[in-house]
A = this chain, B = another copy of it.
Amino acid sequence: MTPRPARIATMNEVAAAAGVSQATVSLVLNKAGGSRVAEATRQRVLEAAEELGYRPNAAAKTLRKGAAGLIGFVGDVVASSPFAGRIVEGAQARAWDDGMLLLTVNTGGDERLEAAAIDALLAQRVAGIVYASMYHRRLTVPEALEGLPTVVLNSEDAAGRARAVVPDEFEGGRAATRALLEAGHRRIAMINIETLASGLPAAVGRHDGYRSALGDAGVAYDRRLVREGDGNPQGGFDHTLALMSAASPPTAIFCANDRTAWGAYQALETLGLEVPRDVSIVGFDNQETLAPFLRPGLTTLGLPFVEMGRRAVDLLLGGHAADEIPERIECPLIERGSVAAPRGGRVG
């Protein structure tokens, strides 16, 4: 960029450069001059403004125009988390449908920064604020947002008041388990990503969905087949080794995230077992840099980040709200190569 003054020029600087009063500059640049400003003067002002890279002060504009077509987006670390950033993509896309921009501030979870961010966004008179979290949890909505159009995204208001949009973990867990049941499996293990005691919505919802689908299929829930991992490949690896060394090992494993499923693949490989010939696997999250590249590709549940982002902004812009709070968005089953009928198993 050609070096230029580091600030945006002020109206006074334009006036000085054009050799006219600040009032005249204002008349010209706000096109309010009518016949009161001579054409030659008007030209000098416009050239000076161009020269100095002057931009009409939005502040003055906003005073006249009111709302500036902006929506605020406050994220903890959403934009710097590996995948949840797609939420921002969906939110901006929906805002742009109405010609609005999403002004995002990433707070990194710093409460003082968050407070400053909310103030700054409200100061821009945003039409509303999307308050987003990197992962699905129960959070406390900042008091500063009380009484403002707010939608909590990818989390739930612990107080249960704020509108919120979250993935449907329960139905996702059901769909994952149903995929294995429909392939003919009956001994289906689950390796979770956290303890149920943690109350983590993803861990609890996916587990409850698993249990519910088994129930619908008349398959008894067997505690010994349910393991509490850590959401990392190591957990998937260790628990899979343990599960497969049991007296009657499972023929399929529902891993509550793709990273856990990757560890399960590694463990089965160590045991000389093949996916899906010997053991079928279903993951969760559809991590785009992982799931498609496992061998075979991992059948998993997608997290509807883009749809959630779109829906949150849609609600802010007056979209009809669902009755339930939080509003749950479906996690689609993405079929690849990790599910097959059990060896010698009949599809029941």
Tell me if A148 counts as interface (CB < 8 A to partner B).
Answer: yes
Tell me if A182 counts as interface (CB < 8 A to partner B).
Answer: no
Contact of A53 among B67, B123, B146 (CB under 8 A): B146
B-chain residues with CB within 8 Å of residue A26 when the two chains form the complex: none
Q: For chain A, which range describes its interface: under 10, 10 to 19, 20 to 34, or 35 or more residues?
A: 35 or more
Given A77-B89, A103-B104, A1:B110 Cβ within 8 A: no
Q: Is the CB of A123 within 8 A of B55?
A: yes
Q: Is the CB of A147 within 8 A of B61?
A: no
Give me 11 other A-B pairs in contact (C-beta within 8 A), A85-B85, A102-B106 excluded: A1-B150, A2-B147, A7-B67, A8-B148, A58-B59, A59-B59, A61-B123, A63-B63, A79-B85, A89-B108, A101-B120
Q: Is the CB of A120 within 8 A of B102?
A: no
Q: Is the CB of A1 within 8 A of B148?
A: yes
Tell me if A288 counts as interface (CB < 8 A to partner B).
Answer: yes
Q: Is the CB of B79 within 8 A of A79?
A: yes
Q: Is the CB of B293 within 8 A of A233?
A: yes
Q: Is the CB of A293 within 8 A of B59?
A: no
Tell me if A141 counts as interface (CB < 8 A to partner B).
Answer: yes
Contact of A232 among B4, B6, B293 (CB under 8 A): B293
